[in-house]
Structure 1
Amino acid sequence: MKKFFRMFKIRREEMAASVCALCVLIALHAMMISKTFNTFLHTGGAHWNIFIKNFVVSGFDPITYSMVTYWEANYNVYRHPFLSFMVWPLSLLDGWLMDMTGLNLVQFIVAVPLLFFAFYSFIFIFRIFRDIIKIRRFEATVLSAMLFSFAYVMIAAVVPDHFCVSMFLLVFALYISGLKMQNGTRLSIWQTVLLFFVTAGVTLSNGVKIFIYALFTNGKKFFRIKYLLLAVLLPSALIWFFARWEYRTFVLPKEKARHEARLKKSAETRQKLFNAFADTTSLKDSAEIKKAFAKEMNKRVKAKYVKDHQKAWNKHTGKPMGKGEFIKWTDISTSRSETAVENLFGESIQLHDQHLLQDTLRSRPVIVPYSWIINYVVEAVIVLLFIGGIWCGRRSRFLWMALGGFAFDMFLHMGLGFGINEVYIMGAHWLFVMPMAMAFVVKQAENGRFRTWLRVLLVVLTLWLWAYNGTLLAGYLLG
């Protein structure tokens, strides 16, 4: 246990960069809190309506604010099976402070763990560059700063959502796996299970990445019967059964109650409309009245259907592969090529100045072009460095392990289309792989004549991204 906690001790070579990172993260949190401080500070019983109405930062949801203010299992239990219970202690603290002060300090309570996870994401990505890939301190610092200059890493670090937590867990798991590879050891059953439960408990799909990391770390031993049963199959079954239990216990009763309330309200409304129709119509025969009323209601239903399909939450949702419980989350109609340019490697890394941080389910179009050609130039350079890094690190088992997780995300989002209409908000799950790959370009050029030019390029890119994204984000939060 002592060895585990020693991993969180800041090293001397990390001190300067970590202090700078901490100051920047605190400043970003201060701006995020200030945007809705006066509104959320006095939030009481009608918390959900107030949070959802006033918190608009891209497609991120203020569910965590709502749950900490008044706890209930509001996260999707299949995507985030343990997350509701992880924030329960924060809810107890918020309730205690609210009783003492009469104020809702939820923004500060949520900011503290987010600050921790963002800060140590920076620390462990830096250590991956230094301890695993083994590049020099200057380049490691620049690439670590570059990761946090990416738009949706910068934003994920401060919004009240789970993405920053997931990023930390994935980066930490990569670091642990990388050390195991270096030492010629493997992930034990209990280590794999622990990493899986914590990571998959926050975001279920990321649990698959833990198994990918274990496969690359353990090699053929991953397929031993004992390991497969106890480290892979049993934990997967347990977390799935837990999610089903959580759904039946916490979610299903509320869904049934809401459904019954809707049916009751619909019946009452229909009866009122029928009475009003019967009082005003010139028809006398009861059968004719019912027939005419049914015809009128069908017209209203069709009109509402057409109107709803013009709204952003419907219009910007692509066509799914089917209507099943989980297959309905897929999307086969949204353009993959436009998404890759404008969203996957676009908005994820550089914000669009048009429709800045608007929500796709409210007002933002799915595809938004950049206003300036320089954004496409920067995007192209970053993607080329990423591809170049894959080539330079093609013999690195560690890089292929990281790319395995990246490939799984691409299969989910660009293949199946899960969340493709706002794929950028999931950026914190995979963007860290890009500077990891770039580190292999740096390593290749370490003693070559292009080292200085590469250094300059990386510094210029990082400064541009911090200036561009930082200015837009600060303007949005403080405006």
Structure 2
Amino acid sequence: MKYLRMFKVKRDEWLASALMLLTTICLHALVIARNYDLFTQTNRGHWNVFINNFTISGFDPITYSMVTYWEANYNVYRHPLLSFMVWPLSQLDKWLTDLTGLNLVQFIVAVPLLLCAFYAYIFTYRTFRDVIRLRRFDSAVLAQMLFAFAYVMVATVVPDHFCVSMFLLVFTIYIAGMKIQSGRQFKIWQTVLLFFVTAGVTLSNGIKTYIYSLFTNGRKFFRLKYFLFAVLLPAALIWGFARWEYRTFVLPKELARNEATAKKRAENTRKMYEAFKDTTSIKGSEEIRKAFNAELQRRAEEKQRNDSKRAWNKHTGKPMGKGEFMNWTDGTTSRAETAVENLFGESIQLHPDYLLQDTLRSRPVIVRYRWAANYVVEGLLVLLFAAGIWYGRRSRFLWMALCGFAFDMALHLGLGFGINEVYIMGAHWLFVIPFAIGFLLKGARDSKAEPWLRAALVLLTAWLMGYNMTLFIGYLV
């Protein structure tokens, strides 16, 4: 009961959080209405219907398909427990479909997303109030700033895991911040529970849970008992579970699919050879076979040339190496342009050109803004972020948050994982920006600069909210 009381909304939190929730509900309504007639049908192939018709940036509607017909379709190494977390939703959807004759998957998925968005806002606000110790108004402004960022706003209403991840990360960092403030440490069971939940949704979240535990527990993090039972054992268990999940659910389907593909290819090749043999003027079986193989080679090269021009290939950089996991890396996409246009650009302010299009379909990796004002806003936010880091340089909490941010940057800008659409991962790290700005505001308290800084933050938040909301709603309707 003590821990459940954390989720009780306080009196001073209701107004701002209710406004945020109402806004998010309205956006959900627009997202649902966009494909309502198609997605509520129960007699259509669910996977292709969702994948081909849900088009909001690079977000995948896999959850819609999973809830409609459950199977382990998430990447088991990146999301080891997520398939099993949505299983209860799948059972609810099945019951409601039998009851109503409609597939209400959009409504079912929207409910946990709304809860996660709501409590992500609550714990963001509490971080400003209880950890950084800002005034109520300033806390509300900075919390709203986070939810005015483009890919936080979008993540709260799309059927992907990013909104869930953001809530879990903000919740975990809030708990860590409160423990740092009171001089307490994470207990083994607390670390294990947070790790399994965060890493179960996305494995990289679990790494951040360990980063937060390291900053909270200090040298005690490496004590044998804690390190063995809170760190090594859970990490080994979840990796072992992911391997079991792959062998049990994924590998059999892959083998069957590969076998069917090979069989179909062999049958097509046989038919092509028979047709070639009947129409060619070449004599002799050996000469016919050589000519046919040359024709196959020509067609393969032509297909490779055509595929290289398609968006899913053209907009993907070359991996740094070969292997099961190195294939996820990218060593050729420009880091500088990515940082300007996508990392601190699209993540925070939508580009009106190629609005919310997918890089694997039609959107170029790098899109530039039409107006200089967008770059001014971006530059101002980066300066405020940097100034906040300077003012909070003595805060263990801020360095903890920045280490999590650095991990994301190493993953995306360093290794290039998901770099061609890095903005869709923004919900994993964008909260660090207003956290840092909070320390700038705290440092300016009772100074002549404070009202000017507060006014600038209010204007920035209003701009981001109005600009992104206008473009997003325009896209949805």
TM-score, normalised via structure 1 length: 0.99
Q: Which amino acid aligns with 2:199?
A: A
* Matched-pair contact (CA < 8 Å) for 1:81–1:239: yes
Distance 1:233 1:161 in 2: 29
Q: Secondary structure at the match of 1:290?
A: helix
Tell me what 1:274 maps to: 273
Tell me what 2:202 maps to: 203
Distance 2:186 2:42 in 1: 46
Tell me what 1:460 maps to: 459
| 1:181 lines up with 2:180 in the alignment | yes
| 1:226 lines up with 2:225 in the alignment | yes
Residue 44 (structure 1) shift:
3.5
* Matched-pair contact (CA < 8 Å) for 2:62–2:74: yes
Tell me what 1:363 maps to: 362
Residue 51 (structure 1) shift:
0.5
* Matched-pair contact (CA < 8 Å) for 1:44–1:104: no
Stretches of structure 1 that go unaligned for 5 or more consecutive residues are none
Distance 1:67 1:100 in 2: 19
Q: Which amino acid aligns with 1:276?
A: A
Tell me what 2:322 maps to: 323
Tell me what 1:445 maps to: 444
Tell me what 1:118 maps to: 117
Distance 2:221 2:50 in 1: 45
Residue 134 (structure 1) shift:
0.3
Q: Which amino acid aligns with 1:27?
A: C
Q: Secondary structure at the match of 2:203?
A: coil
Distance 2:150 2:20 in 1: 15
* Matched-pair contact (CA < 8 Å) for 2:93–2:105: yes
Deviations 1:390-443 (A, max 9, x none): 000000000000111000000000000000000000000000000000000110
| 1:346 lines up with 2:345 in the alignment | yes
Q: Which amino acid aligns with 1:31?
A: L
Residue 28 (structure 1) shift:
1.1
Deviations 1:432-471 (A, max 9, x none): 0000000001101111001111111001000000110000
Distance 1:303 1:81 in 2: 39
- Over 3 Å off, 4+ runs: none
Residue 284 (structure 1) shift:
2.3
Distance 2:354 2:186 in 1: 45
Alignment of 1:285-296 (within 5 A): 285-296=284-295
* Matched-pair contact (CA < 8 Å) for 1:212–1:401: yes
* Matched-pair contact (CA < 8 Å) for 1:43–1:50: no
Q: Secondary structure at the match of 2:159?
A: coil
Same amino acid, percent of matched pairs: 69
Distance 1:284 1:80 in 2: 57
Tell me what 2:372 maps to: 373
* Matched-pair contact (CA < 8 Å) for 1:128–1:175: yes
Q: Which amino acid aligns with 1:138?
A: F
Alignment of 1:381-392 (within 5 A): 381-392=380-391
Tell me what 1:414 maps to: 413
Tell me what 2:36 maps to: 37
Tell me what 2:60 maps to: 61
Distance 1:437 1:200 in 2: 25
Q: Secondary structure at the match of 1:467?
A: helix
Tell me what 1:131 maps to: 130
Distance 1:264 1:18 in 2: 57
Tell me what 1:397 maps to: 396
| 1:89 lines up with 2:88 in the alignment | yes
* Matched-pair contact (CA < 8 Å) for 2:319–2:331: yes
Distance 2:328 2:241 in 1: 21
Q: Which amino acid aligns with 1:61?
A: D
Distance 2:348 2:34 in 1: 23
Distance 2:412 2:313 in 1: 19
Distance 2:45 2:256 in 1: 19
Distance 1:255 1:222 in 2: 40
Q: Secondary structure at the match of 1:255?
A: helix
Tell me what 1:312 maps to: 311
Distance 1:470 1:18 in 2: 17
Distance 1:49 1:101 in 2: 23
Tell me what 1:153 maps to: 152
Tell me what 1:256 maps to: 255
Residue 45 (structure 1) shift:
4.5
Q: Which amino acid aligns with 1:323?
A: K
Tell me what 1:191 maps to: 190
Residue 182 (structure 1) shift:
1.3
Q: Secondary structure at the match of 2:383?
A: helix
Q: Which amino acid aligns with 2:187?
A: S
* Matched-pair contact (CA < 8 Å) for 1:142–1:459: yes
Aligned length: 477
Residue 91 (structure 1) shift:
0.3
* Matched-pair contact (CA < 8 Å) for 1:320–1:331: yes
Residue 43 (structure 1) shift:
4.1
Distance 1:282 1:132 in 2: 83
Distance 2:202 2:15 in 1: 32
Q: Secondary structure at the match of 1:118?
A: helix
> Judging changes above 3 Å, is the alpha-carbon distance between structure 1 residues 328 and 11 closer, same or farther for their aligned structure 2 residues?
same
Q: Secondary structure at the match of 2:323?
A: coil
Residue 183 (structure 1) shift:
1.3
Residue 39 (structure 1) shift:
1.0
Deviations 1:42-96 (A, max 9, x none): 1434001110111010000000000000000000000000000000000000001
Q: Over aligned residue pairs, what C-alpha RMSD do you find?
A: 0.6
* Matched-pair contact (CA < 8 Å) for 2:42–2:101: no
Alignment of 1:92-107 (within 5 A): 92-107=91-106
Distance 2:85 2:321 in 1: 33
Deviations 1:357-416 (A, max 9, x none): 000000100000001000000000001000000000000000000111000000000000
